[in-house]
Amino acid sequence: VYEIQPQTAPGGRSSVAFWEAMMTVGPVLGAIIPPAAVWLLGGFQGFEWIGEDVTVADAFGLIGAMSFPFAAFLFARDRCSRARAQASRSWPTVPGVVQSSAVEERQTRLGGANYRLTVRYTYQASGRERESDRVAFGPRWVENEGLIEALGRKYPAGAAVTVHVDPEAADIAVLETTAFSNLTKMWLAAAVPFVLTATVAIRPLFHSR
């Protein structure tokens, strides 16, 4: 029987807590900052929702207020996953056994594909047998097929594994102490205001011809 004792490195929990908070605070700031910045720079003068063409600055402020919150949330979530992975490196470890393992693929709306390793493993911690399906922190689906294929070979069904167990919650466990990352959606959300604002800026050039 393996008893889990707190061994998390100082600062690990605080970093996780900070980025968890930023998943709430970040989107709020993302919604406020773009229109506030445009307004402070003199934008939204005589602005009307209907019947008037918006200026480039007004367009950026409005579109940014809708798009940047998503980008901020996805960025904070990625950083939180990295912080959790960093903290897990100092977690105590126990032996475990992979009960099932399979690589899955799904098509995306953009014509690409994402992959994940669906795994289930058991381990003994704090006096009883437990089960987890977490390979690493971060999104379950990633674009890196090679990474998932390699993990599938590393963790086949029946394999003996080393399980990193949260010393404060023995039901939370992970096999890899690095975080998966998939920031395509974040970059798309961040780029939308710039792309659409550029469209607003060049539209009069075509109308004048």
pLDDT (tens digit, 9 = 90+) per residue, 62-88?
899 999 999 999 999 999 999 999 999
Q: d(Cα 116, Cα 71) in Å, to the nearest integer? A: 23
Rounded to a whole number of angstroms, the CA Rg of the chain reads 23
Band of pLDDT at residue 200, cut at 50, 70 and 90:
low
Band of pLDDT at residue 4, cut at 50, 70 and 90:
very low
Q: d(Cα 154, Cα 81) in Å, to the nearest integer? A: 22
Residue 208 has pLDDT above 80, yes or no: no
Cα four-point dihedral sign 186, 86, 83, 151 = positive
Q: What is the pLDDT of residue 130?
A: 97
- Which residue is associated with the tokens 């070979």? 153
Work out the average pLDDT over 4-29.
Answer: 76
Percent of the residues in the chain that have a pLDDT greater than 70, as a whole number? 86
- Which residue is associated with the tokens 């900052």? 33
Work out the average pLDDT over 40-66.
Answer: 78
Distance from the Cα of residue 85 to its chain's centroid: 13
Angle in degrees, 0-180, between the axes of helices 12-40 and 56-88, rounded to the nearest 10: 180
Q: d(Cα 81, Cα 68) in Å, to the nearest integer? A: 20
